[in-house]
Amino acid sequence: MAERTKVTILEKVVVRFSGDSGDGMQLSGSIFSNLSAIFGNEISTFPDFPAEIRAPQGSLSGVSGFQVHIGSRKIFTPGDKADVLVAMNPAALKVNVKFLRPTTIILIDTDSFRKNDLEKAQFLTEDPFKELGLTTQQIVAAPITSLVKDGLAEFGLDNKTAIRCKNMFALGLVCWLFERPLEEAVHLLENKFAKKPLLVRANIKALTDGYNYGNNIQASVSTYRIEGKQVEPGYYTDVNGNKALAYGLIAAAEKASVKLFLGSYPITPATDILHELAARKELGVKGLQFEDEIAGVCTAIGASFAGALGVTSTSGPGLALKSEAIGLAVMAELPLVVVDVQRGGPSTGLPTKSEQTDLMQALYGRNGESPAVVIASSTPTDCFEAAFWAGKLAMEYMTPVILLSDSFIANGSSAWKIPNLDDYPAIKPHYVDAYIGDQVWKAYRRDPETLVRYWAVPSVEGFAHRIGGLEKDYTTSAISTDPVNHQRMVTTRQEKIDRIADHIPPLEVIGDMDAELLIIGWGGTYGHLYETMEGLQELGRKVAFAHFRFINPLPSNTEDILKRFDKTVVVEQNNGQFANYLRSKIAGFNPHRFNRVKGQPFMVSRLIEELSKL
């Protein structure tokens, strides 16, 4: 009888699936993440795609990864380094060596570690582990490809199709390692391949074979258990940032009782928003793909003119192309949401990597004095909240809102409790029927308190009007080139945006109110900075943390908060754009800065090391 496996109980663990871009690592990682969420674990994921559409098989540039951080307490990041690495070929091992701990368990497919595979990955010797200095890690080597081909022989699959199931063998082995029963994984596979019953059976067989293989080697390797936690009752799902953002836009339109229109053009990493909204026809959503970025934003502006919530989605290069049309929406004062899922730049840059480098473009990247609201989402699930707020502010203040996400949170996922829309604030579009004045209504008549012009939807009797890109007279709404009037309109459009600060949530500070250091962040770095604060506190430091969702305008209490602390540091994935912006808005504010632009998420351990010096 085999010796019983030793079971180690852990509070949290990081698992990284990695292989060639055709090895199915994203699917294996997604299923394992869903299993962990189902069993009550907190999760945070990070898909890491190669930039090439199809790099040469087995090459370093073609490595695709999926990292998941699971735990029995709140998890904010996908983790720094892996406790378990699935490396389906030598290239995956080499690319990921920097993410390994001395104690990492490495699962490999020995069938893909032959001489020609090592040469493709540019190894100089036939011992990749020694060459990489991996002397303390535990290696679990299995001939995965051969075992899968033999195990699926009964199904009559061609060689290529059979081999593509090897990711499920690896998943089964990982499920055994973490004591995950296979029933839910089977259910997820049945849904995934519902229209291909033969593939369902083959993948389930490979999954089961991998699990059983783990049982057969149980005397040689420890298994792990991550205890679940008590969760608040409700309906939960595993959601990535793009999908949550799409749902937030739908929620805003529903709350305002308007139709949602998306005019967009595919671009990595924002395309999934278009896919999701185009599939929501049952909710009255119109999601259409157009021939280019400019057509996408212009159709969205047309939809807003007609009374819908107009939305367009893009990434940094597309935001540049949309800039003139966004200026039109500023001048016409129409509700428009522009979603920018930031990626590495400049130009085409690093299409599948993540940065925070579009902030200045969002704030100022238009001709003329062209103010717009700028909001940034902070986590995959927060994308819902940020999108809801973007829709609310756009319709209530008749303005373009630029919503910044990034590739990290757009593709990463977390467990999300599906919210009750009744718990969200009302959205009251600024319709013309609210106009009360002693003058006949004109297109640019304004609410005297908010300076917001009224939304007159075409076909409403008595409210025929024209708007457009030319400057209008403040009083008559006719085209005007008068210099005094232009100054008044420029000032009014800016003041309208500034006054929104009184109607958004105040900036919150978490951590130690008597802190010796305040960490400041915005956007998708939230989880890393939160864990950095916790790590510094564990070292005995007094640390506080303030994270910005609302960037233009800043919350009304921003200056009071930032000047309360003697020492501050702004941490961002650019060369200091937000730090410079804060300096321009708050006289005498001169924070420390920590800037990295690597196309990859921050390493919490590195942040703790650097910020502890402050």
What confidence tens digit (pLDDT) does each residue in 124-164 have?
999 999 999 999 999 999 999 999 999 999 999 999 999 99
388, amino acid identity: F
Burial 184-201 (b: 16+ CB within 10 A, else e): bbeebbeeebeeeeebbb
CATH 3.40.50.920, domain 509-611, yes or no: yes
| pLDDT for the residue 221 | 64
210 phi and psi angles, rounded to 5 deg: -65, -40
Question: Pairing state of beta strands 100-109 and 138-142?
Answer: parallel
pTM of the model: 0.92
| pLDDT for the residue 152 | 96
The pair of three-digit structure tokens given for residue 5, joined into one six-digit string = 């496996």
CATH class of 7-226: alpha beta
DSSP 380: T
| pLDDT for the residue 39 | 79
Q: Which parts of the chain sit beneath pLDDT 70?
A: 1-7, 218-223, 227-231
Give the separation between CA 207 and CA 20, rounded to whole angstroms. Answer: 19
| pLDDT for the residue 3 | 44
50, amino acid identity: P
CB 519 within 8 A of CB 528: no
User: DSSP secondary structure string, 439-502?
Assistant: S---TT-B-TTT-PBPB--TT-TT------SS-B-TTT-SB---HHHHHHHHHHHHHHHHGGGG
| pLDDT for the residue 463 | 92
| pLDDT for the residue 211 | 94
Q: Tell me if domain 7-226 and domain 237-423 are identical in fold.
A: no
| pLDDT for the residue 447 | 95
Strand order across the beta sheet in which 517-522 lies = 509-511, 543-548, 517-522, 568-572, 592-595
Report the 3 state secondary structure along 499-523.
HHHHHCCCCCEEECCCCCEEEEEEH
The residue extents of the domains of the chain are: 7-226, 237-423, 509-611
CA 403 to chain centre: 12
Report the 3 state secondary structure along 283-348.
HCCEEEECCCHHHHHHHHHHHHHCCCEEEEEECHHHHHHCHHHHHHHHHHCCCEEEEEEECECCCC
With a CB cutoff of 8 Å and minimum separation 6, the contacts of 468 are: 328, 331, 332
Give the separation between CA 5 and CA 223, rounded to whole angstroms. Answer: 7
User: DSSP secondary structure string, 539-566?
Assistant: TT--EEEEEESEEESPPTTHHHHHTTSS
| pLDDT for the residue 237 | 83
Q: Look at residues 178, 183, 238, 224 and name the one whose alpha carbon lies nearest to residue 207.
A: 183
| pLDDT for the residue 364 | 98
CATH 3.40.50.970, domain 237-423, yes or no: yes
Q: Look at residues 552, 482, 559 and name the one whose alpha carbon lies nearest to residue 520.
A: 559
